[in-house]
Amino acid sequence: MNPLVNYFRNLQEIHSSQAAVKETSYYGTLETLLNEIGKTLKPQVGFHASTQPTF
């Protein structure tokens, strides 16, 4: 299935569950979307979402 369609479906599921906590609840879904898109690029690109600051 289209990664963008999956992204919006997952957002809807998270939102509907009322278990979302700020924007961080959606980081995993965004990470999955960006990694799926990154797999199609040459060279392939990966993305990792983190809630921890990187100094």
Q: How confident is the model at residue 36, as a pLDDT? A: 93
For 8-55, the pLDDT digits (tens) are 999 999 889 987 887 788 888 999 999 999 999 999 888 887 766 666
Q: How many domains does the chain have?
A: 1
Taking the CA atoms of the chain, what radius of gyration do you get in angstroms? Answer: 13
Residue 37 has φ and ψ, to the nearest 5°, of -70, -40
pLDDT at 7: 95
Whole-structure pTM value: 0.75
Three state DSSP letters for 2-45: CHHHHHHHHHHHHHHHCCCCCHHHHHHHHHHHHHHHHHCCCCCC
CB atoms within 10 A of CB 20: 13
Domain around 42: 1-55
The token duo for 54 is 């990187």
Query: What is the model's pLDDT at position 55?
Result: 61
